[in-house]
Amino acid sequence: MANRPYQPKDRFFKQAKASGLRARSAFKIDEIAKRFRIFERGQVVLDMGAAPGGFLQILLDEVGPKGKVVGVDLVPIRPLNRPNVKTAVADVLAPEFDALLLSLHDGIFDVVVSDLAPKTTGIKDTDEARSIALAGKALEVSILRGRTGGHFVAKLFMGRDFESFRNEIRKSYRDVKVVRPEATRGASMEIYLVGLDRKPLTP
């Protein structure tokens, strides 16, 4: 089946604009939320790679006013004017990231979501390796700061290390789903892995 051509102003773009969403990508996390019911009212959720804020808008609606969402990205995120969201400019691979994240929220996260993506070079192996490194950092955070029974969502570029990374998630989560949301661009190599029901940490 041929890839769908890139359409910069496709129906998802138009729907996002009509709905007041900051990015068409918001429909990706919305689809995942509906399919797997991983978000609940009152949860604390981390969104890594959160700019411009489309995911945050969906997540805030999912967790409700008693929940909390933390968003980090390399670029500033325009304020959402909601009292239960915190955002910060951060490089997730920097040595100081863990301390910064602790300052934003010092408890556990019910769900860790990663929409992190590398700045692409056009070199397939390089881009895939950088994508895996970012998703790997998100997985590390979900294991160290995530709740037992919680969930994990990560975007990555499909490549030769895909299976080994999925197996890494399986070590910590009871089930792993592979998702290519409908709103994904036609020629994009990105997919999402959804880790369900995190296992208890073993000594």
Could you tell me if residue 166 is left (phi over 0), alpha (psi between -120 and 50 degrees) or otherwise beta?
alpha
CB-based contact 67:111 (threshold 8 Å): no
Name the nearest CA neighbour of 168 among 131, 203, 132, 197. Answer: 132
What stretches of the chain show up as alpha helix (H) in DSSP? 11-19, 26-36, 54-63, 97-104, 124-145, 162-172
Torsion angles phi and psi, residue 63, rounded to 5:
-85, -15
Catalytic residue among 155, 171, 177, 199: 155
Active site residue 155: yes
Tokens representing 158 are: 């499909």
Torsion angles phi and psi, residue 84, rounded to 5:
-105, 30
Residues with active-site annotation:
155
